[in-house]
């Protein structure tokens, strides 16, 4: 995927769906121990292996 594609796609998506949250697969894992946090041991899938919300604010 070309590097310019993600920011362009993100801008289009944010415009069309302003209330949407952009997440990684790992952010959708269940909170297995019910402590209110999804920790690495609970990740069903570690993709991506970084925090997408933090990445978006930095890029």
pLDDT in tens, 2-58: 445 567 777 788 888 888 887 888 888 899 999 998 888 998 887 777 888 788 778
**pLDDT band, residue 1 (cuts 50/70/90):** very low
Distance CA 41, CA 18 (A): 31
Closest alpha carbon to 43 in 28, 21, 22: 28
- What residue ranges do the domains of the chain occupy? 5-58
- Taking the whole predicted model, whether its pTM rises above 0.75 is answered as no
């Amino acid at each position: 995927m070309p590097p310019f594609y993600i920011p362009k796609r993100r801008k289009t998506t944010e415009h069309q769906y302003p209330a949407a949250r952009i997440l990684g697969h790992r952010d959708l894992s269940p909170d297995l121990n019910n402590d209110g946090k999804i920790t690495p041991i609970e990740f069903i899938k570690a993709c991506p292996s970084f925090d997408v919300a933090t990445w978006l604010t930095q890029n």
